[in-house]
Each structure stands twice: as C-alpha cells, then as structure tokens.
Homo-oligomer: A and B are copies of this chain.
Amino acid sequence: MSHTIADFDQFLTDVQAFVYSELIPLEPQLLAEGFGSVLPILQEKRQLVKEKGWWLPQMHTDVGGLGLSVHEFGQMSEILARTPIGHYCFNCQAPDAGNMEILHQYGTPEQKEQFLTPLANGEIRSCFSMTEPNNAGSNPVLMSSTAVKEGDSWIIDGHKWFTTAAEGASFAIAMVVTDPYTDNRYQKASMIIVPLDTEGFEHVGKISIMGEKGEDWVSHSEVKYNECRVPLENVLGGEGEGFAIAQQRLGPGRIHHCMRFIGMAERSLELMCQRAATRELAPGKPLATKQTIQNWIAEARAEINACRLLVLDAAKKIDELGSQAARVDVSVIKFYVSDMLMRTVDRAIQTHGAMGITDLTVLSFFYRHERGARIYDGPDEVHKFVVAREELRKYGIAIRH
C-alpha cells in the first residue's frame, strides 16, 4: 500500500488509461515530425496531469510531488514508459528527475529555491554533464574537466558529451575535478551547478545519434566549459562529494531506467501480439499461428515477468535499506533488463516484417534510442564485473577490474 495514495492499484489503472488514451495517440506525429512538433501538445498534457493530481510522482510532497517510494514509482514508471513521452508529461523524465532528487537531498535552501522549485513546477529543464569524449566512462577516475577556485568563484574548464537534453535546458549539473591531488580518488570530483547562460558555456552541438540529432529534451549534446565562472556556493553537497552523490543518484536512477525498459518491452510485446493476431499469411491464417512467433511471445512474457520481479525487488531493497545496500542488485538488473529489452524489441520488429523497420510503429524508435541502454550508466561488462566481484568475495577472493 502506498503511503500517499489511497488506492494505488486504481491509481495505476487510471494512469495506464491516460497513457493509452492521451499519449500514445500522439506517437505518429512524434515519429513523423519529431519531438519539437509535439512539444506544444505535451505542455497541455502536462497541465492535464497536474489537474488530475498526478504531477511529479517520484518527488517528495514538500516540493509538490506524490511522494511515491522507489518501489511504487517503479510500477508507475513501467506504465509511463509505454510511450517515449510518458515520463515527460508527468515531469519525472531523466535527467531532470535525477537532478531534482539530488537537489532535494543535497541542495542548500538557496539552491532549492533557485533551481529545484522551477524544475519541480516544470517551468524549466536541466541537464547532467558527466561523460567525457576522451575518457572511458566506465572508469570514473578518468575525468579531465576541472573547477578551480578563484576568489568567490569556481572557474570551470572542460569538455563533455552525452549531456542529455542540454538544448533548451536552463542549467547543468556538471561533474568536475576539484581536488586532483587527493589520495582518495573517489573524492577528486564535485558536482557544480552551471546556469547555461554563464559566459564561456559553449553548446558545441547536438550529437547525431543513430541517424538523428533530435530536438530539445530528446537530444544529447557536446558542450564545452571555457573558463565558466560560477559562485562558490554552486557546489552541490560539498566539495569532493561528486562521486558519492553520483552513486546515490545512480541507484534509484537505474531502477527507473530498468522499469522504463520493462515498460517498453511490454509495449513491444503488445505490438508483437497485435501484429501476430491481425496480419494474415493467408486468408484466415494469422501470423499468430506460427510457432516461432508463439515462442517469442512466450519467451518475452517469461523474461519480462522475471525482470519486473527482479527490479521491484531491488527497488524494495533501496526503499528499506538504501542505495548502497542494493548496489549489486542494481548492477544485476542494469545488464539483465537492458539485454531483455533489446531482444524483445528485436523480435517485435521481426514479427512486423518490413513494417517493423519503418517509423510507422514505435519499435524502430525503441530499437535506436534504447541501444544505448546497454552502455549508459555503466556498460553491461562493468555491471557484470561488479556482480562477479561480490559473488567471488564470498569465496575469499578479491578481483580487480
């Protein structure tokens, strides 16, 4: 039972009905004309969501959210993920959701007022600036961007890419090295809030990913910080706390991603079944009569159910014991669920034949936009290492990456 919602099952049912009746019908336009074209409509939908009292489900009530637990929001997130625009309409989309979370947890009252409040209200958007083109993302110690103190300012220099949703954002939370000489390599970096109108901030360009540069929230940018000057108080949660906050942020963040994956997998299975039920190989003989398709459907059902239980189990662990305790569980789901998603999408495409590779269904969108799921927030290989390391520790052996 939810702490904050009287009848949680009914809530989920209502949200699902909303997703199917109000949002999925916007997909053809999204797929044909791009995110920018549907953005005005999405603002209306956001208003509708606010009116229904569903706004900001993942955040605490003190900033106007519903205060759902990780476990509860996981269940909701799966439903929102049926369509690429679901989370956006509820203001629980990455990277804003993560940014709101750490601002809420680590922000000063001033930071909250200036950055969190408008974000929570949906008046502005933000981005998170961590990955660097010249350093392997899987090794956090390899980071070149820096912030140096000068008077009452930080002077930030750096080169980042995959800064998601930078186009149209008001500020970035940038991960930069503030103490390059510390012995503790996990205390080298800090998170600093950089308004994007800061002088020296350079939007190099949107990265073309899988054939498109995208627009606004659905885009990933390369950016440069050229001697950007921001107040010292823009550091978030203390100097040297960058990695600690990132770890904290990544736990629930990966739960949300994984539940999104499950939602997309459910949608893919749904499209696969619909296609199988309606496409005729010969009069009266639908595709669903083919055993290969039946196998795919059965395997997708099994895999999705397994993944859901695994993710919700990790979510519960985070709710009860915190991110750190669930660290290995989170690594398990990150590689396991993203792999399942891509396999399910691929089979749904194959089931659709030529239509599967067109943009007449959302499958091609998933196929392209989610290939990164096995890479971002740690590639499969790194998460497998984390899990194996933990497992082997029980046998008295410590492996190194």
Contact = CB atoms under 8 A, between A and B. Distances in A.
A372 interface: yes
Interface in A288-310: 288-295, 297-299, 301-303, 305-307, 309-310
Interface string A342-376: 00000001100111111110001101100110111
A282 B142 contact: yes
A52 interface: no
A305 B294 contact: no
A281 B136 contact: yes
Interface in A4-55: 31-32
Interface in A220-245: none
Contacts of A277: 392, 395-397
A31 B213 CA distance: 12
Interface stretch (A64-72, A187-195, A204-212): A204-212
A354 B161 contact: yes
Interface residues of A, number: 91
A388 interface: yes
A332 interface: yes
Contacts of A295: 292, 381, 384, 388
B310 A353 contact: no
A349 B277 CA distance: 32
Given A138-B281, A387-B302, A379 B353 contact: yes
Contact of A381 (B292, B305, B375): B292
A139 interface: yes
A399 B401 CA distance: 17
A71 to B, nearest CB: 14
Contacts of A375: 350, 353-354, 356-357
A328 to B, nearest CB: 8
A137 interface: yes
A78 to B, nearest CB: 16
A336 interface: yes
A273 B394 contact: yes
B210 A392 contact: no
A301 B381 contact: no
A211 B276 contact: no
A332 B387 contact: no
Contact of A371 (B136, B209, B367): B367
A399 B211 contact: no
Contact of A298 (B142, B161, B211, B335): B335
A298 B298 CA distance: 22
A38 to B, nearest CB: 15
Nearest to A374: B350
A209 B360 CA distance: 8
B354 A276 contact: no
A287 to B, nearest CB: 8
A125 interface: no
Contacts of A392: 273, 276-277, 288, 294, 297
Contact of A384 (B280, B298, B332, B356): B298
**Sorted from nearest, which 3 A-B pairs have the closest CB atoms?**
A294-B388, A298-B384, A309-B309
20 contacts: A32-B208, A138-B353, A139-B282, A161-B354, A208-B360, A210-B359, A210-B364, A211-B365, A273-B391, A273-B392, A277-B396, A277-B397, A288-B395, A292-B292, A295-B388, A298-B383, A298-B386, A301-B388, A302-B387, A306-B306
